[in-house]
Amino acid sequence: MREISRRGLLGMGVGAGAAAALTGVAGCSGPAGSEKHDPSAKASERAKASPIGDGSTADAGPQPNQPPKPERLEPGQKPPQFVIFSWDGAGEVGNGLFPRFRKLARDHGAHMTFFLSGLYCLPESKKDLYKPPNNPVGASDIGYLTDEHIKATLENVREAWLDGHEIGTHFNGHFCSGSGSVAQWTPEDWESEIEQAVSFVTEWRTNTGFKDLEPLPFDYRKELCGSRTPCLLGQDNLLPTAKKLGWRYDASNPGGTQVWPGKRHGIWDLPLQQMPFPGHSFEVLSMDYNILANQSKNTTRGPSEHYDHWRRQATDSYIAGFDRAYETNRAPFYVGNHFEQWNGGIYMDAVEEALKYIADEKRKDVRLLSFRQFVDWLDAQDPAVLKKLAQFDVGEKWHAKSD
């Protein structure tokens, strides 16, 4: 087995975990709400008039700030380069990272996926409401947020959806080891975990008692269509449940390469991918924590004298992964992140610099989408065309394949 498998496929860390038009130019759209008639404001007003349940969520109608309807590729037509930035946990804990990357997305016409942890909507005083499979009641390996941070998270999730981003799920307690690990969960366990995650998001008003926040402007039970599991574990038993719930994709597979995706159990399998790791003979998984694990090993606070080098290495790795796909088989490029200040925040800087590079206006055929928007495009394509795209290997130059 190559070294890539030993050092490149490390599990995710824990913590408070974050597109251009399909037919437009990457970076061409202005900030959400720049139009004379702000679609976000209209959706917000509709939400106030259409509460769901206890008013934690509401029906704002169609999500604003979406790309145009996907168009089918013609046989032999070169595909766009899709890039999907996603964020695990998606909690705002006072470090300003959630709003920072919402602004970055607006500035560059990007859409992203935020995999919200349900526990980030539940106060610790109500932790007995959480009954995690194979773990004590109220247990969590990521802890609970303060009331202030729950409010900040809810506000940012609301604005993210109005900006056009996707809200997925990162489930709840983030159990990665021991007998209670998600790796051991059954499909029934996953069903329980998902129902609880949804309930925490859709009943935050009852659980928190907050009365000064507007509702989340979407019906989460209808909106939710994809996930990423803690530490990239447990996908095999999650997928039957995801299919039962009508989900469209899962982004938990840790063994991906830069090729066009296929389906498992009828669901699009969109794995994190092995990408070049400058200065090494092996590749690294396309997530901040996996880069960290190969730089500072078992600590998120390595020696500061290495930060400049590590920041550049992380940035160059993302850019190399993008360039390889863009210049060859045009496979979609998936990047996973956490809202964390690991190693002095260098991975946040790396993601920002990489996104700016990717969104350069000179590349007219780059699309920065959410996972949901990307599967919209996939589902609109001729299966025969997708089958040909899937025949391209990593780094294989795109060409019009003949029958």
Residue ranges making up the domain that contains 254: 3-58+79-389
Looking at residue 369, which CATH number applies to its domain? 3.20.20.370
Sign for the pseudo-dihedral over CA of 97, 231, 161, 22: positive
58 close to 304: Cβ distance less than 8 angstroms: no
pTM of the model: 0.91
Q: Considering the domain boundaries, does residue 128 fall inside one?
A: yes
Structure confidence at residue 28 (pLDDT): 31
Burial 83-116 (b: 16+ CB within 10 A, else e): bbbbbbbbbbbebebbeebbebbbebbbbbbbbb
The pair of three-digit structure tokens given for residue 256, joined into one six-digit string = 């991906």
Quick one: tokens of 257?
């390469």
Is 65 part of any domain? no
**pLDDT for res 403:** 65
Residue 166 lies in a domain: yes
Whether 74 maps to a domain, the answer reads no
Q: Is residue 395 part of a domain?
A: no
Total domains present in the chain: 1
Look up residue 364 and give its amino acid.
K
User: What integer pLDDT is reported at residue 47 of this predicted model?
Assistant: 85
- Does the residue 225 lie in any domain? yes
The pLDDT assigned to 402 comes to 74
Residue ranges of the alpha helices (H) in 39-83? 39-48
Selection from 127, 218, 141 nearest residue 178 by Cα: 141
Question: Can you give the pLDDT at residue 37?
Answer: 66
For tokens 């602004």, the residue is 103
For the chain, residues with pLDDT lower than 50 are 1-36
Q: What is the pLDDT of residue 10?
A: 41
Map tokens 């299966």 to a residue. 383
Q: Is residue 52 part of a domain?
A: yes
> Does residue 267 lie within any of the structural domains?
yes
In terms of DSSP H, where are the helices of 255-364? 288-295, 307-327, 346-358
**Residue 254 near residue 285 (C-beta atoms within 8 A):** yes
Longest dimension (CA), the chain: 62
Asked if 261 and 82 touch (Cβ cutoff 8 Å), the reply is: no
